[in-house]
Structure 1
C-alpha cells in the first residue's frame, strides 16, 4: 500500500502528461490523414474509426497478455500482474531519479532496488520453485521472509518520504480535493496498521496461553523470557521450562567455543532441541524433518543419529554409551526433565553411577544436570 502509493504519486504528473500527449497525437494523426488525402467528411470519420481501431488493438493485446497470465496462475491473475505493475512503476521512477541526479538520488535508487527486488521475487516464485518438497510451500515460505523484510524497509523510508514531500510541496491547485484524498489515504493507512497489529499483540498472547501453563509473559524483546515460571505440556509429561532456562543460562555463560552437546530428540513441534536452539551449540542431531530436507541424500544417516541418541540415553552398557559419545565427539551431556520423560530411568541413572568416572558434573539443580565428558579418562 505504501510502496504503491508513493510510486503512483511520483508518476501522477508524468502519467497526466502521457495521457495528454496520447490525445494530442491521436487528434493530429487524424487531422494529418484527412488533410493529406483531400478527404471528404465521411473519410475523416473513417480515419477516426481507424485510430479507434488502433487503440482497440492495443487494448486487445493487453487483454491477451492478461489471459496468458490467467491461464498460468488463475483468472484472478494471481500476484503476477500486480507485482509486474509494481516493478514497472519502480523501474520508471528509479530511472527518472537517476536521470535527474537530485540530492536524494542515491537514497531513492537504493530503496527502489530493495522494493524492485522484492516484487521481482514475488513474480519469479510463480514460475520457479524447488521441486520435491511440499509443492511450492517451502519456496514461498523461505523467499517471502526476504520479500517482507525488503518491503518493510522500503515502506518505512517511503512513508517518511511521502509526508516529507507533502510538507514541502504545498500545491495551490485542487486544495479541497487533495485534502480529501489525503484524509482518505491516511484513514486507510491507519486501518491497515491497526489491523496488522492485532495478531502480533493479541495472537501471541493467546498462543502462549494455549501452549504453556503459567503466567503470560509481558511484551518483551527477550525471546527466552517466556520460560520463567512456565510449564510445557508434553505427551510424555510436563516440563518445567524455568529449570531448563537455568541450565541454558549456565551453558551460555560458561561454555567457550562450539562443543557438541547431547540432548533429547523428540517428535517435531515439541520441546526437543531447546538447548541447541537457545545456546547456539551444535547437537548430535536436530529437528528430524528439517535435517532430512536439507540433506536428502543422507536421510539414513539422520535416522541413525536419532537411533544412536536414544541408545546413549537408554543403554545400560557403559562401553556402548562411551563409544557413541566419542563417535560424535560429544563434550557435554544435558539431562533435564525432558530427557527423563523420554528415556528409560535405568539408562538415565547410569550417568551419575557407572559413567561417573568418565563424566564431570559441572552443573546441577533438582531437575537439570550437565555433564562434561572427561576426555582424559
Structure 2
C-alpha cells in the first residue's frame, strides 16, 4: 500500500538523496496505488538533491548556506506534513512483521508485545516533539494582545499609533516607488550617537518602508550579507549627512539619491536629535502624531 511505498523510499534514501528520488519516482510510476504521501517525500528529497547541485553564490554565506537555509524550509513543510502517515506505516508494518516472524520467548514476550512497544515509542516520539508547540501556545495565550484579526498590520494601530497614521497616509497617497529618506536600519554611525534601542528585526528599523513598500536609501543592516559592507555603510554615511550635514551637502546627496520624501519621526529624532527642516527645498506634506513628512522640491535645490 501507499504507506509501505513511503517506508521503502525512506529506507532506500537514508544515506543518499539521489537513490531516494530515483526509487521514489520508479515506485510512483509503477505502483498500483501510489499515495500522496509518497509524492511529498519524493518532492522533499528532490529539493534536498537540488541544492547539492545548484546554489546561489552570494555573500550571505558561507558557501551555499543561504540557499540551503531557504530551500530546506520547504523540505521541512513537505516532510513534516507527511510524517504522520509515515509513522503510521512504520507501526503497521512492524506489527505485521512481528506477528509473523517473532516466536514466543522464555520471558513470555510475544510479537504483540513488541508491537505495543513500537506504538509506545511512536507515542513518546510525538509527545516529546510536541513540547515546543505547547510552550508556544502558552506564550501566545499568555501575552497581552488585542482583538483577534487576520490583518498583520493591525498591530501598528494598536501599539504605534503615533506613527501608524502617517504610515497609512504614505501607503494611500504616494504612487510608484519614490525614494524616501529615513533613519537607516542600523545603530552604526561615524557622525552621530544613535539612542534607539535594538533596530534590526524590530519596529524601529524602517517601519515606514516595511509597511508600505516605499524604498529608503539605507534599510536594514541585513543587506550587508547580500551587497557587502562597503555598499551599505557608504549609504548609511550619506543618510547621516542628509540629516545633519550642512545644507549644500544635504542638497547634493538628496539630488544624488533622487530623494523625494523625507521622514522625520521618533526613530530619526532618537538618532539625530534636532533635525533642520526649515530649508527652501523641503515642503511639509503631512503631520500626524509624532511624524512629519516633507516633500523635496527639486526645482529649489541649490
Instruction: Kindly indicate whether structure 1 or structure 2 has the higher relative contact order, using CA contacts under 8 Å at least 6 residues apart.
Output: 2
1:343 maps to what in 2?
272
1:191 maps to what in 2?
127
2:245 maps to what in 1?
315
* Structure 2 residue runs without a partner (length 5+): 100-110, 189-197
| Distance apart, 1:131 and its partner CA | 8.8
- Asked if structure 1 preserves the Cα contact closer than 8 Å seen for 2:282 and 2:296, the reply is yes
Compared with structure 1, are the counterparts of its residues 312 and 252 closer, same or farther at alpha carbon in structure 2 (3 Å cutoff)? same
- Asked if structure 2 preserves the Cα contact closer than 8 Å seen for 1:10 and 1:93, the reply is no
TM-score, normalising length from structure 1?
Answer: 0.56
- 1:94-109 equivalences under 5 Å are 94-100=25-31, 102=32, 104=34, 107=36
Which of the two has higher C-alpha Rg? 1
- Asked if structure 2 preserves the Cα contact closer than 8 Å seen for 1:83 and 1:120, the reply is no
CA distance in 2, matches of 1:173, 1:293: 54
| Distance apart, 1:337 and its partner CA | 0.8
Q: CA RMSD in A?
A: 4.4
Compared with structure 1, are the counterparts of its residues 196 and 8 closer, same or farther at alpha carbon in structure 2 (3 Å cutoff)? farther
| Distance apart, 1:244 and its partner CA | 2.4
Instruction: Indicate yes or no: 2:214 matched with 1:281.
Output: yes
1:92 maps to what in 2?
23
Compared with structure 1, are the counterparts of its residues 339 and 141 closer, same or farther at alpha carbon in structure 2 (3 Å cutoff)? same
1:361 maps to what in 2?
284
2:225 maps to what in 1?
293
- Asked if structure 2 preserves the Cα contact closer than 8 Å seen for 1:87 and 1:119, the reply is no
- Asked if structure 1 preserves the Cα contact closer than 8 Å seen for 2:17 and 2:49, the reply is no
CA distance in 1, matches of 2:289, 2:56: 50
Q: Which of 228, 232, 235 is the matching residue for 1:302?
A: 232
CA distance in 2, matches of 1:225, 1:150: 31
Q: Which of 150, 163, 183 is the matching residue for 2:75?
A: 150
Q: Deviations over 1:22-79 (max 9, x none)?
A: xxxxxxxxxxxxxxxxxxxxxxxxxxxxxxxxxxxxxxxxxxxxxxxxxxxxxxxxxx
TM-score, normalising length from structure 2?
Answer: 0.68
Q: Deviations over 1:250-291 (max 9, x none)?
A: 222222222211100132751232222222221111223x33
CA distance in 1, matches of 2:33, 2:5: 21
1:254 maps to what in 2?
173
Higher helix share: 1
Compared with structure 1, are the counterparts of its residues 258 and 344 closer, same or farther at alpha carbon in structure 2 (3 Å cutoff)? same
| Distance apart, 1:196 and its partner CA | 3.3
1:272 maps to what in 2?
205
Matched length = 270
Q: Which of 244, 260, 272 is the matching residue for 2:163?
A: 244
| Distance apart, 1:108 and its partner CA | 5.6
Q: Deviations over 1:185-242 (max 9, x none)?
A: 6514531552231454356789xx8xxxxx4567765444444454xxxxxxxxxx33
Compared with structure 1, are the counterparts of its residues 246 and 196 closer, same or farther at alpha carbon in structure 2 (3 Å cutoff)? same
- 1:1-377 equivalences under 5 Å are 10-11=7-8, 84=15, 88-89=19-20, 91-100=22-31, 102=32, 104=34, 107=36, 110-120=39-49, 124=52, 135=62, 139-140=64-65, 142-157=67-82, 159=84, 174=99, 176=112, 180=116, 183-184=119-120, 187-188=123-124, 190-198=126-134, 200-202=136-138, 215-216=144-145, 222-230=151-159, 241-265=160-184, 266-267=186-187, 269-270=198-199, 271-288=204-221, 290-296=222-228, 299-317=229-247, 319-345=248-274, 348=275, 350-351=276-277, 353-355=278-280, 358-377=281-300
| Distance apart, 1:176 and its partner CA | 4.2
- Asked if structure 2 preserves the Cα contact closer than 8 Å seen for 1:90 and 1:115, the reply is no
